[in-house]
Amino acid sequence: QQQVKQSPQSLIVQKGGISIINCAYENTAFDYFPWYQQFPGKGPALLIAIRPDVSEKKEGRFTISFNKSAKQFSLHIMDSQPGDSATYFCAASRPSNTGKLIFGQGTTLQVKP
C-alpha cells in the first residue's frame, strides 16, 4: 500500500509564482517529514524537513506546512524560479526505523520564464 501519497504528479508555474505540492500520509507513527529535490541525472538531495511538533518551517523561499490532524503536509515554493525546475519528493519515517524513508510518488515542477 502507498503510505505516502503525493500530488500533483506534474506542475507548471510561471516565474515568480507560488508552487504548491501536497502529501498525505497514513501512519500516525511517522514523526519526520522531509522534502527532497532531484535534478535530471542526479540523486535526490534534502531540501527541507519538519517534525510534527511544529506546524510550519521556512527556509528562504521554501516552506513546509504541516497539519497533524489531517495527516497532510505541503511544500510551498515562493517566487518560483526556472532554476527550481526539478522533481520533488516528500517522504516520511518513524523514529524506530532510521534509514527507512518512505517516499511519495514525486512531482515534476517546471517553472516557465
Partner 1 sequence: NAGVTQTPKFQVLKTGQSMTLQCAQDMNHEYMSWYRQDPGMGLRLIHYSVGAGITDQGEVPNGYNVSRSTTEDFPLRLLSAAPSQTSVYFCASLRGTRSMNTEAFFGQGTRLTVV
What does the alpha-carbon distance between residue 88 and residue 20 come to, in Å, rounded to a whole number? Answer: 11
Nearest Cα to Cα of residue 11 among 112, 107, 113, 106 = 107
Choose the stretch contacting partner 1; rule: CB under 8 A; options: 59-67, 68-76, 77-85, 100-108: 100-108
Shortest Å, Cβ 96 to partner 1:
8
What does the alpha-carbon distance between residue 59 and residue 40 come to, in Å, rounded to a whole number? Answer: 23
Binding characters for partner 1, 42-61, by CB under 8 A (x = yes): xxxxx--x------------
| Number of C-beta neighbours around residue 46 at 10 A | 10
**Chain residues that interact with partner 1, rule: CB under 8 A:** 6, 9, 32, 34, 36, 41-46, 49, 89, 91, 93, 95-96, 98-106
